[in-house]
């Protein structure tokens, strides 16, 4: 193949790669903009190892460039150059230097790994959160408060959050890039623990980081760090009784067809994400972002309708039956969508 033909094939690939990499630069999904102490420690490690590598790279390249220029073959060089075998001093130097570098890397790495795995499970002051991953959604249980929610993990700014991770089906991985590294959720009753904190108020996006099925890429969640006062208000609001649908017939349909799997307030069952206060979540089904502006009016209602009219087109392979297959009419679906979108929690 001629050189330009190779280039013709390589260029589009490079273009696609740069586009893909540009996608990794999202502010709220970046390891390079740490927002908490755990992520900061890990970012410092990245910087340390890259600096060491850069120094080694520059020195090695400088020496080889010097040697290539200085000792290159000249026209007057007719004889075989002197052959050298071994140099004790040099060999010691190039064994000891990497050893020192490895030590410089190892000490903070081990320290950081242990800090990451630090177990706050018995820390009375930490907030305990049991995370259960499901194809394709996240469940968050707060055993200290008797609260279970989904998709948006609400935490106070001033506490360590002690996680206990498990899965309801296959392996997933819990990852909030700006707050900490990844932690797998393993089947067979294995429980993984770790902790982090988010001292600044804000919304941090999380992703499943372990390929788990066709909608893996849509398996997002959000960590919402709020002031301690807001957290208290949120806790109370979560425990309030369910706000029912006004229309009696629609309320009955909702109860029979939806509350079998979903909990709302003090009502409902298990198998699907809790819908309590879903109107104030960051997204519907974790991926239809409610913050994105939308010409058709209230984005929460639009997203809710989009999801309820055809959940499979939003998240292929997800485990929610389409409401129209449950026998709901379009008008009923729209009514429930309005109700859920306006089911908000003040906090
Ligand atoms: C068989 C159990 C089941 C039934 C019945 C069911 N759902 Fe779901 N629902 C799910 C599951 C599982 C999900 C999570 C889908 C995902 O994100 O992967 C879900 C997700 C949702 C979501 C998005 C939640 C979020 O976290 O943003 C809404 C809204 C919802 N369901 C509403 C309804 C309504 C309304 C009905 C009744 C018409 C209903 N569901 C019936 C299982 C069910
Ligand atoms: Cu996944």
pLDDT of 105-136, one tens digit each?
999 999 888 877 777 878 889 999 999 999 99
Asked whether residue 17 carries a pLDDT value surpassing 80, the answer given is no
DSSP-assigned letter for residue 194? E
Asked whether residue 28 carries a pLDDT value surpassing 80, the answer given is no
pLDDT tens, position by position, 42-77: 999 999 999 999 999 999 999 999 999 998 888 888
What was the pLDDT predicted at 236? 93
Apex CA 272: angle with CA 267 and CA 278, to 5°?
Answer: 70
- Kindly indicate the confidence band of residue 189, based on its pLDDT and cuts at 50, 70 and 90: confident
Q: In the predicted model, what is the mean pLDDT of residues 219-245? A: 93
Asked whether 328 lines ligand 1 (CB < 6 A), one says yes
Distance 214 CA to ligand 2 centre (A): 9
Same fold, 27-72+86-227 and 248-341: yes
Q: Which atom of ligand 1 is nearest to the CA of 257?
A: 37
If you write DSSP's letter for every residue of 177-194 in order, what string do you get? TTT---EEE-STT--EEE
- Kindly indicate the confidence band of residue 146, based on its pLDDT and cuts at 50, 70 and 90: very high
Higher pLDDT, 14 or 93: 93
Distance 165 CA to ligand 2 centre (A): 14
Q: Which of 304, 263, 307, 299 is nearest to 139 (CA)?
A: 263
Distance 205 CA to ligand 2 centre (A): 14
Asked whether 40 lines ligand 1 (CB < 6 A), one says no
Q: In the predicted model, what is the mean pLDDT of residues 277-303? A: 83
Examine residue 136 and say whether the peptide bond preceding it is cis (omega within 30 degrees of 0).
yes
φ and ψ at residue 95, rounded to 5 degrees = -95, -40
What was the pLDDT predicted at 50? 94
Q: Which CATH architecture has domain 248-341?
A: Sandwich (2.60)
3-state secondary structure 260-314: CCCEECCEECCCCCCCCCHHHCCEECCCEECCCCCCCCCHHHHHHHHHHHCHHHH
Distance 26 CA to ligand 2 centre (A): 19
Region of poorest pLDDT, from 111-120, 199-208, 246-255: 111-120
C-beta separation of 119 from 196 below 8 A: no
Region of poorest pLDDT, from 3-7, 291-295, 305-309: 291-295
Asked whether 326 lines ligand 1 (CB < 6 A), one says yes
| Cα distance between residue 225 and residue 347, in whole Å | 12
Class of domain 27-72+86-227: mainly beta
Ordered by start, the domain boundaries in the chain are 27-72+86-227, 248-341
* Whole-number average pLDDT of the chain: 90
- Kindly indicate the confidence band of residue 24, based on its pLDDT and cuts at 50, 70 and 90: low
């Amino acid at each position: 193949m001629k050189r330009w033909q190779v280039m013709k094939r390589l260029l589009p690939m490079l273009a696609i790669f740069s586009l893909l990499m540009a996608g990794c630069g999202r502010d709220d999904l970046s390891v390079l903009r740490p927002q908490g102490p755990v992520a900061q420690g890990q970012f410092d490690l990245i910087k340390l190892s890259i600096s060491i590598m850069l120094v080694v790279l520059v020195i090695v390249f400088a020496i080889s460039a010097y040697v290539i220029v200085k000792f290159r073959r000249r026209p007057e060089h007719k004889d075989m150059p002197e052959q050298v075998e071994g140099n004790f001093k040099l060999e010691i130097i190039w064994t000891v230097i990497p050893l020192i570098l490895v030590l410089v890397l190892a000490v903070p790495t081990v320290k950081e790994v242990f800090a990451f795995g630090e177990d706050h499970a018995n820390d009375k002051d930490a907030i305990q959160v049991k995370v259960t991953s499901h194809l394709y959604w996240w469940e968050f249980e707060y055993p200290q408060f008797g609260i279970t929610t989904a998709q948006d993990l609400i935490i106070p700014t001033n506490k360590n959050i002690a996680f206990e991770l498990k899965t309801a089906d296959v392996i997933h991985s819990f990852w909030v890039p700006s707050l900490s590294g990844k932690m797998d959720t393993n089947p067979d009753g294995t429980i993984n623990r770790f902790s982090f904190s988010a001292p600044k108020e804000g919304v941090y996006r999380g992703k499943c980081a372990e390929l788990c099925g066709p909608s893996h890429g849509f398996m997002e969640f959000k960590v919402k760090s709020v002031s301690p006062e807001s957290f208290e208000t949120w806790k109370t609001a979560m425990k309030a009784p369910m706000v029912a649908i006004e229309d009696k017939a629609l309320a009955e349909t909702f109860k029979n067809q939806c509350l079998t799997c979903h909990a709302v307030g003090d009502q409902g069952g298990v198998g699907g994400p809790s819908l309590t206060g879903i109107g104030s979540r960051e997204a519907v089904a974790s991926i239809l972002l409610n913050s994105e502006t939308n010409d058709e009016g209230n984005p929460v209602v639009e997203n809710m309708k989009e999801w309820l009219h055809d959940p499979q087109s939003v998240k292929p392979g997800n485990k929610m039956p389409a409401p129209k297959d449950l026998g709901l009419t379009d008008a009923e679906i729209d009514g429930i969508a309005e109700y859920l979108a306006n089911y908000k929690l003040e906090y």
